[in-house]
């Protein structure tokens, strides 16, 4: 069992920046960020795997940066130029090697509790 703990959420004004961190209890191959806006479905933000490239959904490309540190078992999400539509609960997820469907929530076995990000305009 892998435990994930997110931190770094909060409130920020539009155009600002925020960095989220996720710490895993042990090494894990693939980690990802998902988010769930109010009243909406959970959606994939981006993911990274050991030795692989980092992928992003289109609506965050150029604004968000994901970094995976296998020495520290962490995944960070640096968000810049935040918009009100980025307001959501952000979740860290993780998976052992297996499915290549990195954007699907069903690929991920382990989930954090989430951290709230609120962007005010």
Rounded-to-integer distance, Cα 69 and Cα 105, Å: 21
Query: Maximum distance among all alpha carbons in the chain?
Result: 41
Average pLDDT for 56-82: 96
Residue 110, burial from CB neighbour count under 10 angstroms (0-12, 13-18, 19+): middle
Q: 111: helix, coil or strand?
A: strand
Joined tokens for residue 86: 């980025």
What does the mean pLDDT of the chain come to? 96
Rounded-to-integer distance, Cα 111 and Cα 37, Å: 17
3-state secondary structure labels for all residues of 23-55: EECCCCCEEEEEEECCCCCCEEEEEEECCCCCE
Residue 99: pLDDT above 90?
Answer: no
Q: 108: helix, coil or strand?
A: coil
Q: What is the pLDDT of residue 86?
A: 97
Give the pLDDT band of residue 98 (cuts 50, 70, 90).
confident
| Per-residue pLDDT reduced to its tens digit, 106-118 | 999 999 999 999 9
Least confident window among 44-48, 53-57, 109-113: 53-57
């Amino acid at each position: 069992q892998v435990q994930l703990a997110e931190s770094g959420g909060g409130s920020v004004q539009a155009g600002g920046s925020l960095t989220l961190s996720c710490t895993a209890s042990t090494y894990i191959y693939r980690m990802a960020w998902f988010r769930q806006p109010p009243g909406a479905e959970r959606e994939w933000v981006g993911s990274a795997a050991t030795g692989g490239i980092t992928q992003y959904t289109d609506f965050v490309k150029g604004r968000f940066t994901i970094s995976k540190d296998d020495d520290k078992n962490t995944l960070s999400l640096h968000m810049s130029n935040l918009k009100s539509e980025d307001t959501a609960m952000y979740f860290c997820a993780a998976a052992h090697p297996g499915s290549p469907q990195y954007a699907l929530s069903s690929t991920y076995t382990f989930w954090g509790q989430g951290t709230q990000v609120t962007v005010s305009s």
